[in-house]
C-alpha cells in the first residue's frame, strides 16, 4: 500500500528518497513520485509504473535539494497515472504525500472548487494540498495550516508536507496510517516503515495516533492529539540490514521460504524454560489476564486469518477453550455478541492492517483483554494491544506471506499451551508438545529438500487456469493457504475445500485440466481422505498428494505422491505449508510473474 519517504538534510536528499522508495516497493504500488525543495522552488517528478521509471526520469532531469518528500502510490481514488501520482501540489507552494483515505474528500473538493481551486487529479489527496494553500493564504503559519487541515479531514491517513517558503522543513502527521520518524545526525527523515530508512539511520521514533511532527535537520518536535508538545521515545532497530537484501536468492520470497528453519526457532527458543512455555514472554500482565480467560476471539485477514483457523483446532481440540475466528472486515461490520472473559487475539504480520486494527478498537471496551501476534515491533497493533507476542521472523519483503505465517503458527501454539494449562492441557502434554517443537527447524529443513521435485511438479500447473486444494482437519486451513499463495503470485484460480465437501460441488469441476493438490494428514481421517482421492482420480483429475512415508498413499496413473518427512501430528500444519509455498513460487517463476510484488496486491493494507 502507499509508501511515504521524506528527508531534510545538509546533503541532497533525492538519492535517499529514491532508495527509500525502492525499499518500500514491497508494500505494493502502481506509480511513484518525488518533490524536492532546491533552496528556492519545489521541483516535482512523477511516473506511472515502477520506481525504476522514476529513477530513469531522474537521470534525465535530476532533482537536487536538501528537503523533499517521495511516494509510491497504490491507487484508491483515480486510476494509476502520472496525474494521480503523488506528491500533489497546490500551485507551486506546497507539496503533499499521503497514505490512507480521506473519506470526506468530495465535500471538501466541492467547497475548494467554489473557492476557485482547480483539480488536476482524481485523488482524495489533492484536497489536502489545496486546503493547506488556502489556510496559509488566509494567514496561518505553515504548522497551524497543517494542524487545521488535519482537523478537517475524516478517515485514516499519514502525511508528509513541504512548503516552498519554509527552507529545510518537513511536517508529518499520523492518524490511522503508519508513519515513523528516522532520527539521524544533522538530518532527519520520515517513512511509512523503518525498512525505507535503514541505509541512513537505525534510530526511530514511532508517532502515535493524532501526532503532528515538525522536522528540521537538527530538531524534531511532536504535538499529540491534544496539541501538547510530547517526547516520543527513540528506539534502535535490531535486525541486521542483510534481512532486507536478497543475498544468493533470486527473489525475496524464496529467501524468506528458506529462512523458516531459523525464524521458527527464533519464535520459540527464548520462550521455553525447563521444557515449558514461559508465559512472561507475553508481557508482565499476562498471567492474571490468562487466569480469567473463558473464550478466545481471533481476528485477522489474509494469510494471518488462515493461521487463526489452525489455532481454533488447537484451542478447542487440545485445550478445550471455546474459540471463534473471523476475518476482520466481516467482524467489524456486524453486530457481535462478546461473552464475558473473551481474550481478543489479533494476528497480523504488519501490525497495520486497517480492518484488524479497527476491529480491535471497536471491541476494546467489551473484551477481557487483547493480545496481538505480530511481526513488526512498534506497529499500531503492538502499541494498542494489552499483550503481544512478536513472531520474530525479521522483515518480510515478499508480498506473499511465508515466514510470517509459519512463525505465527509457532506463536499460536505457544499461546494455546499457556492458556490451555488453565484448561485441559496437562504439564505432561505441554512438555510433549514443547519437545515436538524442538524438531521443527530440522523438519522444515528436510521439507525444503523437496524443492527440485516441486519445481518439476510446477510444470503441470503453469499452463492451467484452475486448481483445487484439499485438506482435512488442521490441514484444511493449510490447503486454503496453499491456494491463496498460488492465486497471489501465479494468478491461477485456486480453490480450497475441506476434502469431505468434495462431493458437494467441486467434484463437478474435476477433469484433466484441473490439477488437485492434497495435503494428507496422518490421523484418523486418512482413510476418508483416501476415498476422496479415489473420487478425483476416477474422474481423470491429476492428483498431487503430499503425504508422509507411513501414510501408504501410492503413486500411480495420474496420482503423484510427494513424500513428506514423518513428524508429530501437532507440527503437520506448519511443515506441510513449506511445499505449498515452494509450489506457488515455482509456478510463478515459470509463468514469469512479478513474484515479490504481485499485481494489485499490497504488503501492508492500511486502507479498508
- Looking at 194, 260, 349, 518, which residue binds ligand G6P (CB under 6 A)? 349
**Torsion over CA: 414, 417, 418, 420 (sign):** positive
Start-to-end CA span in the chain (Å): 11
CB of 332 to ligand G6P, least distance (A): 13
Piece of 206-214, 343-351, 361-369, 573-581 that binds ligand G6P (CB under 6 A): 343-351
Torsion of CA 150, 299, 423, 526, to 10 degrees: -160
- Cα 122 from Cα 117, distance rounded (Å): 14
Please classify residue 248 by burial: count the beta carbons closer than 10 Å to its beta carbon, then call 0-12 exposed, 13-18 middle and 19+ buried: exposed
CB nearer ligand G6P, residue 399 or residue 561? 399
Piece of 207-215, 297-305, 415-423, 438-446 that binds ligand G6P (CB under 6 A): 297-305
- Cα 593 from Cα 70, distance rounded (Å): 27
CB of 81 to ligand G6P, least distance (A): 24
CB nearer ligand G6P, residue 403 or residue 603? 603
CB of 506 to ligand G6P, least distance (A): 24
Q: Which helix (H) or strand (E) element contains residue 583?
A: helix 572-591
CB of 372 to ligand G6P, least distance (A): 10
Piece of 64-72, 84-92, 271-279, 295-303 that binds ligand G6P (CB under 6 A): 295-303
State yes or no: residue 266 binds ligand G6P (CB under 6 A).
no
State yes or no: residue 302 binds ligand G6P (CB under 6 A).
yes
Exposed e or buried b per residue across 290-321, where buried means at least 16 C-beta atoms within 10 angstroms of its C-beta = beebebbbbbbbbbbbbbbbbbbbbbbebbeb
CB nearer ligand G6P, residue 110 or residue 600? 600
- Nearest alpha carbon to residue 7 among 143, 166, 169, 144: 169
Query: Would residue 388 show up in a list of annotated catalytic residues for this protein?
Result: no
362 forms beta bridges with none
Whether 440 and 410 have beta carbons less than 8 Å apart is answered as: yes
Instruction: Quickly count: other Cβ atoms within 10 Å of residue 20's Cβ.
Output: 32
**3-state helix/strand/coil string of 201-246:** CCEEEECCCCCEEEECCCCEEEECCCCCEECCCEEECCCCHHHHCC
State yes or no: residue 401 binds ligand G6P (CB under 6 A).
yes
Piece of 58-66, 157-165, 299-307, 415-423 that binds ligand G6P (CB under 6 A): 299-307
- Looking at 7, 13, 605, 607, which residue binds ligand G6P (CB under 6 A)? 605
- Cα 209 from Cα 224, distance rounded (Å): 8
- Looking at 266, 399, 457, 502, which residue binds ligand G6P (CB under 6 A)? 399
State yes or no: residue 356 binds ligand G6P (CB under 6 A).
yes
CB nearer ligand G6P, residue 197 or residue 382? 382
> Residue with CB nearest ligand G6P?
302
Phi, psi of 585 (to 5 degrees): -60, -50
CB of 488 to ligand G6P, least distance (A): 7
CB of 394 to ligand G6P, least distance (A): 15
State yes or no: residue 487 binds ligand G6P (CB under 6 A).
no
Grid cell at residue 572 = 503437520
Task: Label residue 477 left, alpha or beta by phi (over 0 means left) and psi (-120 to 50 means alpha).
Answer: alpha
CB of 584 to ligand G6P, least distance (A): 12
Piece of 112-120, 206-214, 300-308, 587-595 that binds ligand G6P (CB under 6 A): 300-308
CB nearer ligand G6P, residue 401 or residue 458? 401
Among all chains, which residue has been given the C-alpha cell 518525488? 34
Please classify residue 54 by burial: count the beta carbons closer than 10 Å to its beta carbon, then call 0-12 exposed, 13-18 middle and 19+ buried: buried
CB of 374 to ligand G6P, least distance (A): 8
Phi, psi of 601 (to 5 degrees): -105, 155
CB nearer ligand G6P, residue 194 or residue 532? 194
Grid cell at residue 433 = 508438545
At 52 the three-state DSSP class reads helix
- Looking at 16, 150, 601, 607, which residue binds ligand G6P (CB under 6 A)? 601
Piece of 329-337, 346-354, 454-462, 518-526 that binds ligand G6P (CB under 6 A): 346-354
State yes or no: residue 490 binds ligand G6P (CB under 6 A).
no
β-bridge pairing 94-102 and 188-191: unpaired
Piece of 489-497, 528-536, 583-591, 600-608 that binds ligand G6P (CB under 6 A): 600-608
Query: Would residue 411 show up in a list of annotated catalytic residues for this protein?
Result: no
CB nearer ligand G6P, residue 251 or residue 603? 603
- Looking at 31, 134, 188, 303, which residue binds ligand G6P (CB under 6 A)? 303
CB of 601 to ligand G6P, least distance (A): 5
Total of residues contacting ligand G6P (CB under 6 A): 14
Whether 157 and 100 have beta carbons less than 8 Å apart is answered as: yes
- Cα 543 from Cα 25, distance rounded (Å): 37
Phi, psi of 337 (to 5 degrees): -105, 120
State yes or no: residue 12 binds ligand G6P (CB under 6 A).
no
Q: Which helix (H) or strand (E) element contains residue 588?
A: helix 572-591
CB nearer ligand G6P, residue 175 or residue 304? 304
CB of 502 to ligand G6P, least distance (A): 26
Whether 45 and 54 have beta carbons less than 8 Å apart is answered as: yes
Identify whether 87 is preceded by a cis peptide bond (ω within 30 of 0). yes
Q: Which of 50, 166, 487, 603 is catalytic?
A: 603
Q: Which helix (H) or strand (E) element contains residue 286?
A: helix 286-291
CB nearer ligand G6P, residue 356 or residue 415? 356
Q: Which of 2, 301, 323, 374 is catalytic?
A: 2
State yes or no: residue 603 binds ligand G6P (CB under 6 A).
yes
CB of 326 to ligand G6P, least distance (A): 14
- Cα 255 from Cα 134, distance rounded (Å): 49
State yes or no: residue 348 binds ligand G6P (CB under 6 A).
yes
Torsion of CA 326, 332, 333, 337, to 10 degrees: 80
State yes or no: residue 301 binds ligand G6P (CB under 6 A).
yes
Residues that bind ligand G6P (CB under 6 A): 301-304, 348-350, 353, 356, 399, 401, 601, 603, 605
Q: Which residues are catalytic?
A: 2, 603
Amino acid at each position: 500500500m502507499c509508501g511515504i519517504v521524506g528527508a531534510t538534510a545538509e546533503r541532497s536528499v533525492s538519492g535517499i528518497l529514491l532508495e527509500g522508495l525502492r525499499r518500500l516497493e514491497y508494500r505494493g504500488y502502481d506509480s511513484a513520485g518525488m518533490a524536492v525543495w532546491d533552496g528556492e522552488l519545489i521541483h516535482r517528478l512523477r511516473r506511472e509504473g515502477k520506481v525504476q521509471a522514476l529513477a530513469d526520469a531522474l537521470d534525465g532531469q535530476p532533482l537536487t535539494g536538501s528537503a523533499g518528500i517521495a511516494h509510491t502510490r497504490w491507487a484508491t481514488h483515480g486510476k494509476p497515472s502520472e496525474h494521480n501520482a503523488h506528491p500533489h501540489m497546490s500551485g507551486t507552494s506546497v507539496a503533499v504525500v499521503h497514505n490512507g483515505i480521506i473519506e470526506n474528500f468530495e465535500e471538501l473538493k466541492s467547497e475548494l472548487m467554489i473557492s476557485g481551486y482547480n483539480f488536476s487529479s482524481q485523488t482524495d489527496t489533492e484536497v489536502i494540498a489545496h486546503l493547506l494553500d488556502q489556510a496559509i493564504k488566509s494567514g496561518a503559519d505553515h504548522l497551524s495550516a497543517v494542524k487545521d487541515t488535519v482537523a478537517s479531514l475524516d478517515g485514516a491517513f499519514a502525511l508528509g508536507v513541504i512548503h516552498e517558503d519554509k527552507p529545510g522543513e518537513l511536517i508529518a502527521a499520523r492518524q490511522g496510517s503508519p508513519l515513523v520518524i528516522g532520527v539521524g545526525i544533522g538530518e532527519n527523515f520520515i517513512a511509512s516503515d523503518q525498512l525505507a530508512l535503514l541505509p541512513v539511520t537505525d534510530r526511530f521514533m514511532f508517532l502515535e495516533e493524532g501526532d503532528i511532527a515538525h522536522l528540521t535537520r537538527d530538531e524534531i518536535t511532536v504535538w499529540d492529539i491534544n496539541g501538547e508538545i510530547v517526547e516520543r521515545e527513540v528506539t534502535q532497530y535490531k535486525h541486521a540490514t542483510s534481512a532486507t537484501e536478497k543475498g544468493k536468492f533470486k527473489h525475496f520470497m524464496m529467501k524468506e521460504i528458506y529462512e523458516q528453519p531459523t525464524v521458527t526457532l527464533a519464535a520459540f527458543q527464548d520462550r521455553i524454560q525447563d521444557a515449558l512455555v514461559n508465559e512472561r514472554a507475553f508481557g508482565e500482565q499476562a498471567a492474571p489476564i490468562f487466569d480469567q480467560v473463558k473464550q478466545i476471539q481471533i481476528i485477522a485477514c489474509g494469510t494471518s486469518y488462515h493461521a487463526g483457523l489452525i489455532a481454533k483446532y488447537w484451542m478447542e481440540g487440545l485445550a478445550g477453550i471455546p474459540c471463534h475466528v473471523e476475518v476482520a472486515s466481516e467482524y467489524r461490520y456486524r453486530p457481535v455478541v462478546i461473552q464475558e472473559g473473551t481474550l481478543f487475539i489479533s494476528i497480523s504480520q504488519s501490525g497495520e492492517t486497517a480492518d484488524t486494527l479497527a476491529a480491535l478498537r471497536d471491541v476494546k471496551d467489551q473484551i477481557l483483554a487483547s493480545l496481538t501476534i505480530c511481526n513488526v515491533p512498534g506497529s499500531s497493533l503492538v502499541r494498542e494491544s494489552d499483550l503481544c507476542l512478536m513472531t520474530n521472523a525479521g522483515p518480510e519483503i515478499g508480498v506473499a506471506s511465508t515466514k510470517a505465517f509459519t512463525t505465527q503458527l509457532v506463536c499460536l501454539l505457544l499461546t494455546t499451551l499457556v492458556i490451555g494449562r488453565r484448561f485441559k492441557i496437562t504439564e505432561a502434554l505441554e512438555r510433549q508438545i514443547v519437545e515436538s517443537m524442538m524438531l521443527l527447524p530440522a523438519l522444515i529443513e528436510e521439507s525444503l529438500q523437496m524443492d527440485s521435485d516441486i519445481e518439476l511438479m510446477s510444470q503441470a500447473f503453469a499452463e492451467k487456469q484452475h486448481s483445487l486444494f484439499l485438506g482435512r482437519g488442521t490441514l484444511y486451513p493449510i490447503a486454503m493457504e496453499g491456494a491463496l499463495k498460488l492465486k497471489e503470485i501465479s494468478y491461477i484460480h485456486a480453490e480450497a475445500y475441506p476434502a469431505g465437501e468434495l462431493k458437494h460441488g467441486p467434484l463437478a469441476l474435476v477433469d484433466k485440466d484441473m490439477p488437485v493438490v492434497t495435503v494428507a494428514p496422518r490421523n484418523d481421517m486418512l482413510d476418508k481422505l483416501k476415498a476422496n482421492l479415489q473420487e478425483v482420480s476416477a474422474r481423470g483429475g491429476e492428483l498431487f498428494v503430499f503425504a508422509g512415508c507411513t501414510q501408504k498413499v501410492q503413486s500411480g496413473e495420474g496420482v503423484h505422491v510427494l513424500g513428506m518427512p514423518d513428524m508429530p501430528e501437532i507440527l503437520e500444519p506448519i511443515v506441510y505449508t513449506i511445499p505449498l509455498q515452494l509450489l506457488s513460487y515455482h509456478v510463478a517463476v515459470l509463468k514469469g510473474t512479478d513474484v515479490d510484488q504481485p499485481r494489485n496486491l499490497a504488503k501492508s493494507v492500511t486502507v479498508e
